[in-house]
């Protein structure tokens, strides 16, 4: 599973970007809960979710200007 490209998010509105950011942050929280309860998770998912959040925040900044 590779990183998502920023071009996948180019045509989203600011509200949709905010919803995606919220969902990714919720996913990270869920992963942290699973990790703390010793459930089986794939550690690379943290990096992928954070990378997507960074891409979405970059797009949001560009669209606001």
Exposed, middle or buried, 12 (CB in 10 Å: 0-12/13-18/19+)? middle
How confident is the prediction along the chain (65 residues), in pLDDT tens digits per residue?
Answer: 678 788 888 889 999 999 999 999 999 999 999 999 999 999 999 999 999 999 999 999 999 88
CA distance 43 to 55: 20
User: Other CB atoms closer than 10 Å to residue 14's CB: what's the count?
Assistant: 11
pTM of the model: 0.86
């Amino acid at each position: 599973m590779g990183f998502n490209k920023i071009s996948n998010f180019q045509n989203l509105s600011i509200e949709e970007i905010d919803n995606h950011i919220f969902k990714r942050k919720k996913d990270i929280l869920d992963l942290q809960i699973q990790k703390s309860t010793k459930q089986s998770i794939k550690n690379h998912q943290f990096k992928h979710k954070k990378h997507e959040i960074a891409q979405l925040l970059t797009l949001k900044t560009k669209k606001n200007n």
